[in-house]
Structure 1
Amino acid sequence: MSSTLINNIILQKQRLATHSWEYGALAEVLLEWYTPNASVFGGNPFPDGRIPVIQVDTTPSLSYVKRHISTNSDTLIDGDGMLLRKEDPVTGIFPPFHQTSSLAGAAGGPASLGVYAILIGQTQDDYLSAAEPQVNYLLTAVPRYTNGAISHRESVAELWADFIYMAPPTLAYWAIQTDDAGLLATALQQCILYRDVLGVPANAKSAAGLWHHIVGPQSQDLGIWSTGNAWAAAGMSRVLATATKSRHSGDTKVKSGIAQVKDIVKAILDGAIARDNAEPGEPLLGNYLNDTTWFGELSGTTLLTATAYRMARLEPREFGPRYTEWADSKREVIMKKISSDGLLSPVVNPLNWGDRTPRKESPEAQSFAILMLAAHRDFTSR
């Protein structure tokens, strides 16, 4: 793939990103693509058991995301991240960040910036100081579901599959920063608690192992949303990479959590592969995996493909050719659906997952394309 096309995909993502989790996803994209050794998927992501020290200004991920992080609040950005801070055309300076009501949106969204605040904080203390209240906010201020799972919403206990990509990776990363095996086990346990509520039972006639999208009193969606399953599986792959490469991987609770979360990711990928042929002639996964009336869509397909490559690299004995051959077939289709200007289509409206009109723009799909390319590059460079 040409560097021009990759740059175009990233530029389109930068243009489209306007929400907290979209900033966090792009920061992860830039880290995995441009600075792979510093990501949790790198060969030695925690030198001497610690968070790596990298230069902020010369690291695309950190120089990009820094402008979106608040250092004087309980959370790193407001819940929905809709504060569009544009640089002054004359001075090139971004205006100060003004925190809005954190009760307006998602608890998971602001947490998606946590990993990068911690990385910046290795050389700039105010960002490290900002990461701690964000973690504490998740652990102590956010509502809990009846089983102890941290809510994705700030105003009501509600579990969304998306949360797993946003919050547990930050909890796990802060556990490395603080050398806290208990918190690392908590990050893994949150994934398990979410599965316990959202997961389709293994004895179900169809969609076994996959997750419902949302369970809760306000936004409940019991459909098997492809993108939601992808968010969850990809987030768990990040938590697994953090845990298995930490010095606490042998801790009893951490070790048990790793084994369980690995099985959960496997079940999601198995479920997606099993549903792949639900609609003959459609090479993409449907927007809802349990409903063949939906159009084939790139967002969920692309991130699940990325996750298959990541798990094959992380756990090659358990995620062998069945997963990589499936990923190869999906990647081939996906690449043909990226236009020369870097846009992926067809994609679902990420803010209205029930919209049956295929779209030509999605900030999430743009991120997922680079995550897939980075995962494939790293897998094939073994």
Structure 2
Amino acid sequence: MISQVVIDKVLSKAQETASHSWEYGTVFEALLEYRDPHYSIFHDPFPGGKIPELTVEGVEALRYVKPFIQTNSARLCEGNGSSSDPTSLCIPALLLYNSTTSQAPDNPYLSAVNRQLHDLLSTTPRYSNGAISHRDAYPSLWADFVYMVPPALAYHGVFTSDIGMVKESVRQCQLYCEVLSTSKGYWRHIVNAEGTGSVKSDDGAWCTSNAWAAAGMARVLATLRKSQYGSETADEQKMLLNMTKGILDGAIEADTDASGLLRNYLDNETWFPEVAGTALMAATAFRMALLEPGTFGERYVGWATCKLESVSRYIDEETGVAAPVVNSLKEGQRTPLNGINPEGQAFVVLLYAAWRDRRTVAEDASVPMAGTDASRT
């Protein structure tokens, strides 16, 4: 099993190497869930029905992410052709807005978030079914989008008491599922609108993008459950449960590699086994076991525990580097990345935090959990 000392090294490498908007957002989330879990979406994100009032100095995740958030442009960070990737920084930007050291008449963070969301919702192309494109230039649906945008929409909806925005976060997940899901439960990676010429779709079930989607929907579900809209979003919660279960079931069914890791493409046995997607998929299984233990019982917890053990074997204990990992900028590359994958490093931390949180709750005998004798499914 991975030790906390090794996880600290893994996290340090994630912070050192992140260089894109979605990586900053993911490292922020890993820091929050690991270092300050009380404030994460899976614990107590809305004390008194509001987002928490924190100090930048007191929360490592905010200290980390603050230098990367732009407050003087249309987007919170350079998107490299995507308006959805910078949207992953909306949640930390709102927390920075609400921090006790930032509250002032000229506090720039809220207006920056509003510009980012206006750019996303009003100027980004849409697919024929209304799904917001992951790319700026043409309608293109990437499963990755579901981790970047819906959690931010749901969180902002709670912050502004806008149930329409909260429900829109789920609708976007559903619209993506309509286009990307397969008969085996897992999703295709990329589908582009017709008429995009030489731009290629990716019909393969990329492990990391499926993990992005499943983990994103788990975050949205937690947001709904922890917010004032829990009782008003029963239908939306059921949709999220079903869609997330489909991806996890598909991944478990495809988990046949002797390494104990999921393959880079779930639906193709010729691909190399890969740490990053495996880690985030397993983290999601642990989170779902906490959110809905009656559905995500022993089968899911046992599987996630096996994946944690497998991932542990592929972490260099001296350096904290995870390998083999995909080159996330060239997911079709047939060989593992010769270097560090920042998001993969963060995924390992998210896996450890999810395992730790579930173990902590399960140890409380007064709260029966999936995977225990009291709630075995």
- Tell me the TM-score normalised to structure 1 length: 0.89
Residue ranges of structure 2 left out of the alignment (5+ in a row): 362-377
Return the match for 1:150 from 132, 155, 178.
132
Query: Deviation string for 1:303-340 (max 9, x for gaps)?
Result: 00000000001111111001000001111111111002
Q: Tell me the equivalent position of 2:85.
A: 109
Partner of 2:60: 60
Q: 1:375 Cα shift? A: 0.3
Partner of 1:131: 113
Residue in structure 2 matched with residue 343 of structure 1 by the alignment: 321
Name the counterpart of 1:321: 298
Question: Among 352, 364, 367, which residue is 2:343 paired with?
Answer: 364
**Paired residues for 1:8-23 under 5 Å:** 8-23=9-24
Q: What amino acid maps onto 1:174 in structure 2?
A: H
Deviation at 1:20, TM superposition (A): 0.7
Structure 1 residue 3, shift from structure 2 partner: 3.7
Provide the residue aligned with 2:370 in structure 1: none
**1:129 to partner: Cα distance:** 2.1
Deviations 1:226-257 (A, max 9, x none): 01100000011111100111111222xx3211
Distance change in 2, residues 1:79/1:3 (3 Å): same
Aligned residues: 347
Letter paired with 1:334: V
- Corresponding residue of 1:39: 40
Unaligned runs of 5+ in 1: 81-104, 202-207
Aligned residue for 1:120?
A: 96
**d(CA) in 2 for partners of 1:339 and 1:309?**
24
Partner secondary structure for residue 358 of structure 1: coil
When the two chains are superposed, the root-mean-square deviation of aligned CA atoms in Å is 1.1
Among candidates 247, 252, 255, match of residue 273 of structure 1: 252
TM-score for both structures, normalised by structure 2:
0.90
Q: Distance in 2 between matches of 1:189 and 1:118?
A: 22
What amino acid does structure 1 have at the position aligned with 2:47? P
Q: Distance in 2 between matches of 1:10 and 1:219?
A: 34
- Listed as ranges, the matches of 1:75-224 within 5 Å are 75-80=75-80, 105-123=81-99, 124=102, 125-201=107-183, 208-216=184-192, 217=196, 218-224=199-205
Per-residue CA deviations over 1:1-56 (Å, capped at 9, x if unaligned) read 444322211111112111110011001011111111111001x2211211111111
Letter in 2 for 1:233: A
The alignment partner of 2:277 has SS state of helix
Contact 1:165 1:232 in 2 (8 A): yes
Contact 2:126/2:139 (8 A) holds in 1: yes
What is the identity, as a one-letter code, of the residue corresponding to 1:357?
Answer: T
Q: Secondary structure at the match of 2:230?
A: coil
SS in 1 for 2:269: coil
Q: Percent identity?
A: 46
Partner of 1:306: 283
- Where does residue 234 of structure 2 map in the other structure? 255
Q: What residue is the counterpart of 1:87 in the other structure?
A: none
- Say whether the 8 Å CA contact 2:259–2:310 is kept in structure 1: no
- 1:121 and 1:129 in contact (8 A); partners too: no
Give 3-state SS (helix, strand or coil) of 1:264's partner: helix
State the distance in 1 between where 2:40 and 2:200 align.
33
Say whether residues 1:28 and 2:29 are aligned partners.
yes
Give 1:294's match in structure 2, choosing from 254, 262, 271: 271
Greater CA drift, 1-10 or 181-190:
1-10
The separation in 2 between residues aligned to 1:28 and 1:272, in whole angstroms, is 23
Distance in 2, matches of 1:149 and 1:236, equals: 15
Q: Which residue of 2 aligns with 1:381?
A: 360
Question: Does residue 239 of structure 1 match 2:217?
Answer: no
> Does structure 2 conserve the Cα–Cα contact (< 8 Å) formed by 1:71 and 1:126?
yes
